[in-house]
Structure 1
Amino acid sequence: MRYPFILLIFILFLIGCNEDRSITFEPLTFGIQSCQECAIVDITVPEAIGNKKIDEVINTAIREEVISILNYDDEIDASSINTAIESFQSEYAKLKEKFPEESTKWEANVTGEITFENEKVVTVRLDYYLFTGGAHGYRSLRFLNFSKEKGTELRTMELFKNLETFQNLAEKEFRTQENIPESNSINSTGFMFENDMFYLPENIGFTEKGLQLFYEQYEVASYADGPIILNIPHKEIKRFLALPIS
């Protein structure tokens, strides 16, 4: 009589193992472009529309990143993208009031996309451009990596079995790409790594082609050099990863 019970347990186990970890995304858009006295704001980011824990985690992380990009007014406690837009507009309005002759509009553009997804991991990239006066605007990106299994956002150290071992690989790949002899210091060709020691960038994320390391302008080189991007193929990073990517 125990067999039906054991069979039920086995079936439930199989269902758990085959849990659907797919995520459905829809574009979420915010924008202010038609107001003559307003800054230009154009935001389109992916929104996870399911009811799983990971959906909420992804949406919260994206929201917080967009808020941090836009929030220019310390007097406004931005808790949503809309209030962050208000913060951005408020600071622009203060500038216009102080300098009425200022004709150049502020601009904020944020676009998001899914750059990688499998059963274990999903990566979102936010590309953004900000112009708040001066000679030029600022363009950059932010990677957000998530574990579907844990339902959490992944820190850089959680991506790898051993961060130091991966960093050694990344330095080797970086030297090859930038033609820096192995016997020379990492800054010997004009880079500006602090203490003349190689380190990983703040922005690291998965793409369909591999792992992208994105050094922002000023992070390790001059503004004129622009961002420094290193792409390492999946086959080369596979053995270093804490989570499977294929």
Structure 2
Amino acid sequence: MVFLISFQFLAYKMFTLKSENVHSRQLSKVNERGEYAPFPGVTVVSACYPKQKEFCETIHKVLVSNPLIVNHYLPLPAQSYHMTTMSLETEQQIGGSWNQFIINNLPHYKRIKQTLEKNPLYPSIEKMEVSIGRTISLSLSLPKEQEAQIKAIAASLNIEHTIPRVLHITLAYSRFNKPISKKISEPLHTEITKELSNVIEKIKFPLEISEYMLCYFNDMTAFPYWDAEHNPFTQTKLPSHDLIFIQSDKKNTDEFQEEHQETMLTI
């Protein structure tokens, strides 16, 4: 039965990506006005906030208080900071059949949720480095045994291809979808690296973040926990710019809780 579900999911996904995406609306994480726009999807993430609230808010304050940075990048809310462990699907990938795709694959997503719950992991960040491109992000290093666990869990679900090549926390996206001139980019990158490095230097590693869990998102500003019981995109949605990252202890789902860089997968 598990094999059948996995096969049906993969077959449907392959067909969808090939035949439906032609008819999909083109979505972008940031619109032409330099604001976060609808970009629905499902993912597996470990939240940084509120477990590392002080760290998240310090990083956010550094970004939003620097005119040079905010002129070119759109900082994410501190409450949205997270590490993606498995980047699953987005409406942009799937296309016009998005809602039906989610409904058809609820058994697959529920299996992901259940597997994560049976094999809990609280990422313990040993090192982080500033990375700048289409996004501002922090590249992360985890203990080898934790990286191995992530790979093993993903492999058991046949979704190992969804693990980002570089584990990271996205802090901001490029405000406008166009390259920044070298004259501006060099001092900009220097400024960003200096500001964020000053914060990183004060961190006492390892830095533990929250347990990974299945989530959905309407845009890049909030990642609510998802129980995979129903299609969350056909129910009442959070406001597009809700700044709340909802966490769950599996007992109370109402408890409050990344274009990706070229070398990463997504979100």
Q: Which interval holds the TM-score relative to the shorter structure?
A: under 0.3
Structure having the larger proportion of residues in strand: 1
Q: TM-score if structure 2 supplies the norm length?
A: 0.22
More helix by share: 2
Higher relative contact order (CA 8 A, sep 6+): 2
